[in-house]
Structure 1
């Protein structure tokens, strides 16, 4: 409940903001935004100028709820569906297009991240995030009522677009809390995602036991997204367009917007990522490999579809887009992405570290559930529990990372956690068949790389030349994060497919032939072991109980050898992270009490918009 005292305090904020508006960041350059064009309430200020009651106000707490719930819905759109995608395919298909259910989520998210940040910096954030959650509501309803795989893919496109808004939480929270508390505030957001992130696999498997099965996950996300949209609408009132631009018209900003840069960036990124996902063999994102076809080959890496997308997308994204931004022929048009963000070493290091962390998260979310089903003999319930261990360790690490960043400082913490995580994840290759050892190493590695990723994401908001570019910088950071994630998933999927293609024939074929199985029956046996057919004497001529036991044991060893390669591959990302951490700068403590933004009382919006500087 807002009080009359709050109205008085807001007017005082207008006066103090005029006197106290430091340029925040390690680079002491003049901000791009024209301060005189902003209403005082739309500018940053010192925390001391904000009354303590503001932190307990409905608008602040409600905004924090909206951010947390939105993040919860955004992560659930992927994490609740991936573990049971095999069962979904059995119900609605089977369809070879099922692999695109997970792919389009990441692609949509990656393309829209920077767009959300840039446009909300210019036009105000409120309606962007309301609409973002509403898109999530529509997408999850479409998914819950889908009758075929193509409809399900369409739902994930909408959910992925929505996630670009919702997973922008780290810079939206950073805008409304003092800089010193940004790490802890983000830990709160990670805690909200416990049902849709670390416990997602368990919840998804539990829904499978109900009458509505996997549709329950979609209905659950629908409720979360709807509640988020309500909170955004009722409580989140950041500076409006008129408060951000008292001397400019929307039509002028639209006319002078870098539409060509936007087209080159989004088009190049989308085409390039499509090429990455079309190449090689992609695994279905499922909790158990035994319930669905093991893989779905799209195109060879040498195919024209793949090469054409990679070359065209790469030329547009890495050559045409930078060239256009550098040589922008229109003097009154600001580049879509400020060029200094690409030369800001600390910012770039933080962005790519978040990508490395997310790449491990998505990669191990894909690989580990398959390893659980392929390597260990477990009940369906226990598979559901263990399948989520990697994600669980990662998210709990993200929560703990906020505490570490606040207590001991982010730079020291980012360095130490990454240097622990990378070797530990690689060490999981020691003996994949030793379940306890492998689980312990993966959980530990995921925990520390999660802690590193969370702190890097928040640290990326500190090294900007002005905090008024939080949306633009945060959007680019999110896009880089998604880009690396897509690369990681493509690499992990291709390596696993190729290695299994080598190790399974090498270990299984000689073992079963020596046990007495006719060579002509080996292909049917391999299909059965992969979950693509039955393991019976009628479907596999010559199969006996003894031969079947031999085959299963050889198949486990073949998979163990393949997963060893995956764990070694993880060091390609972790090793890069061990180098990047040294380029992260320490935060400027003199700015730790600075608050970049504010959520105002909606009853005062007109007065704030009309306030004179």
Structure 2
């Protein structure tokens, strides 16, 4: 290999007059089953201009993604815990669950498409447009007077949030390989407000502001405006012309795999809609659910066939991605993330039903434990990776300990809220540690760094899809158990306390509403009956949640098995850099501090 790749930061070294080679940054893994070959770097830490990592372009880009990540997380994390209050304000509507669904759907589709498309066409304008969609979506939602309007706005936020979840390639590719873990860990530190303390912030907005839940969207709007401005000003990665040596966009579009892109788009859409319809809007056996899920599944299963046998120059999902290292890391990240996606829904419900007993502020703090544990685990996992090597051992230990604590959460009683909080938090912390390592490995265990977008984007898409699958499984288990435990435990308790059998159905309905007005309408009710029934209701719910915790052990065990197959990539943690930023057209000759005749730089072609 004797020439620089298209996405380099360098044209020629003026000090030698020779076009620099990247032989010295080409890596061939000793284990070719894990990483068949390893190349696609632009330069290394020794050859970037002096002051590159302290330049306004580098720091501005990193700061831009902090705000992008904050805004993307806020668009969902602040809203998910308070959907009931929002529905009470501008509803009620049978479509309220679609607010969460369209975000998940938009994110899965956006990140799945964005990675591959930006690998080909350049990332700058896609990141700017993603943040702008967040701005528009937050503006629409903040002024919504109906749930349907909220759904429309949240759809835009979901698509736009693909920019936030692009951190795994946007940030990874601009830092040296050996600092990728730290660079991503730093992002998680800064995103703790909307990631770890989301429920507290959302609850505080409702309790302490006149606009209530709308402030969640005002905050999302502000964060996305800042992110858009920063990305527009400072983010200048390789452009389309740099990537393709001034090749015609018409030619590249002609060779683009539209069939593969449409297959991913339609398959994921149908499967996610079917998963969210099942057990809520329709029964799982209903033709709407079965037909939609089967159609989506068939399309997704047909994608590998198209990739292998379709006569496409470069398929949308390249075959070269699927080495053992990338495949196992991607699956471990996806399976491990099922805890976050599922328990971000299950745990707040458990807190409110079993432990809170009307204390909204405490419930808000306790509900944060899942996201807070995952986020802190990601920070710790990324920070320690430079000290504690052997990624395989880290992942096996972290996921094993996390799974043990998850199982321990099934042992708590209705008065053991402190123990339950500790077990859930510690479980999520160790699972977040595992997530930090494997999510970074997704961008490391690929044979060519020019595929980092599709590698991370496809992983994020599959992660969202498996998260929805696990959420559907957990909710189905919970509903099934509640249908048994509530009649079996609440009915005998209230009848023994003196409630007429004819009032039992009305009493259980009042329990689910939890208001004094609802209880007052139940014939034959008194304080002793309410106390007995409420305690039995807490126990019945805890028994159902206990089953959910136990069912989650299957996902934990699967993730531990996958981690046994994870490669150690210590030999790849070098100073190599996949992509370097460049200056604006006006500043091309004074792009970065310290740039002079000896600097490597490329003139913008756009």
Deviations 1:558-611 (A, max 9, x none): 011011011112112111111010111011525511111111121366982579
Task: Tell me the TM-score normalised to structure 1 length.
Answer: 0.90
| C-alpha distance in 2 between matches for 1:485 and 1:11 | 51
Per-residue deviation, 1:519: 1.4
TM normalised by structure 2 equals 0.91
Q: 2:452 & 2:267 partners in 1: Cα distance?
A: 24
- Structure 2 CA distance, aligned partners of 1:475 and 1:63? 19
SS in 2 for 1:406: coil
- 1:433-463 per-residue CA deviation (whole Å, 9 max, x = no partner) reads 2111111110000000011101110011111
How big is the shift at 1:163? 1.2
Shift of 1:24: 4.2
What is the correspondence of 1:143-292 to structure 2 with a 5 Å cutoff? 143-209=141-207, 210-280=209-279
Task: String of CA shifts for 1:239-258, please: whole Å, max 9, x gaps.
Answer: 11111111521110001101
Which of 434, 446, 457 is residue 452 of structure 1 equivalent to?
Answer: 434
Q: Distance in 2 between matches of 1:530 and 1:538?
A: 14
Tell me what 1:18 maps to: 21
Q: Per the alignment, do residues 501 and 299 of structure 1 end up closer, same or farther by CA in structure 2, a change over 3 Å counting? A: same
Q: Measure, in 2, the Cα distance between the counterparts of 1:455 and 1:75.
A: 20
**Residue 567 (1) aligns with residue 549 (2):** yes
Give the distance between the partners of 2:448 and 2:296, measured in 1 at CA.
Answer: 31
Deviation of 1:540 (Å) = 0.7
Question: Aligned in 2, Cα 1:582/1:16: closer, same or farther, shift over 3 Å?
Answer: farther
2: CA distance, partners of 1:225 / 1:17? 39
1:426 aligns to 2:380 (yes or no): no
Alignment of 1:393-472 (within 5 A): 393-409=373-389, 410-433=391-414, 434-472=416-454
RMSD between superposed Cα atoms in Å: 2.2
Aligned pairs for 1:312-331 (under 5 A) are 312-318=295-301, 320-330=302-312
SS class of match (2:332): helix
Q: Are 1:176 and 1:599, in contact at CA under 8 Å, matched by a contact in 2? A: yes
Q: CA deviation at 1:537?
A: 6.1
> 1:481 pairs with 459, 463, 466, which one?
463
Contact 1:80–1:200, Cα closer than 8 Å, also in 2 = yes
**What is the aligned partner in structure 2 of residue 288 from structure 1?**
none
Aligned-partner SS, 2:523: coil
The 3 A distance-change label for structure 1 pair 7 and 152 is same
Bigger Cα displacement from structure 2, 600-609 vs 478-487: 600-609
Distance 1:463 1:94, change over 3 A: same
Instruction: Say how many residue pairs are matched.
Output: 577
Instruction: Deviation per CA, 1:455-509: give whole Å up to 9, x if none.
Output: 1100111111111111111111111111111112111221111211111111001
2: CA distance, partners of 1:25 / 1:580: 24
Alignment check: 8 A CA contact 2:11 2:602 kept:
no
Work out which of the residue numbers 333, 341, 352 in structure 1 matches 2:331. Answer: 352
Q: Is the 8 A contact 1:25 1:463 kept in 2?
A: no
> Shift in Å at residue 30 of structure 1?
6.6
Residue pairs, 1:1-40, within 5 angstroms: 17-20=20-23, 22-24=25-27, 26=29, 27=32
User: Cα offset for 1:197?
Assistant: 0.7
- Tell me if the contact between 2:27 and 2:38 (Cα under 8 Å) persists in the aligned partners: no
The match for 2:118 is: 120
- Separation of aligned partners in 2, 1:278 and 1:472: 29
1:369 Cα deviation (Å)? 0.9
2:597 counterpart residue number: none
Deviation (angstroms), 1:107: 1.0
Residue 23 of structure 1 deviates from its aligned partner by: 3.6
Question: Which whole-Å CA distance do the structure 2 matches of 1:213 and 1:94 have between them?
Answer: 17
Q: Within 2, Cα distance between the matches of 1:560 and 1:14?
A: 73
- Counterpart of 1:129 (choices 127, 130, 134) is 127
Q: C-alpha separation between the residues in 1 aligned to 2:17 and 2:198?
A: 45
- How far apart are the structure 2 equivalents of 1:9 and 1:54? 17
Do 2:584 and 2:604's aligned partners in 1 also have CA atoms closer than 8 Å? no
2:506 to 515, 518, 524: 524
Q: CA deviation at 1:144?
A: 0.6
Query: Which residue of 535, 539, 542 corresponds with 1:553?
Result: 535
Q: Distance in 2 between matches of 1:362 and 1:560?
A: 20
Distance in 1 (CA, whole Å) between partners of 2:17 and 2:318 is: 29
- Quote how far apart the aligned CAs of 1:404 are: 2.0
Are positions 1:96 and 2:107 aligned together?
no
Go from structure 1 to structure 2 and tell me whether the alpha carbon gap of 1:246 and 1:579 turns closer, same or farther (over 3 Å shift).
same
Please give the alpha-carbon distance, in whole angstroms, between the structure 2 residues aligned to 1:12 and 1:85.
62
What whole-Å deviation, never above 9, does each CA across 1:285-333 have from its counterpart, x for those lacking one?
A: xxxxxxxxxxxx2111110001001111111111x22211111134xx3
Shift of 1:67: 1.4
Shift of 1:114: 2.0
Residue 373 of structure 1 pairs with residue 352 of structure 2: yes
2: CA distance between counterparts of 1:547 and 1:14?
Answer: 89
Whole-angstrom distance in 2 between the partners of 1:104 and 1:24? 41
- Give the Cα separation in 1 of the matches to 2:413 and 2:17: 61
| Alpha-carbon contact 1:25-1:462 (below 8 Å) kept | no
Aligned-residue offset at 1:378: 4.8
Separation in 2, partners of 1:82, 1:149: 14
Residue deviations 1:126-176 (CA, integer Å, cap 9, x gap): 001011101111111111111100111111111110111211112211101
Which sections of structure 2, spanning at least 5 residues, go unmatched?
Answer: 1-8, 590-600
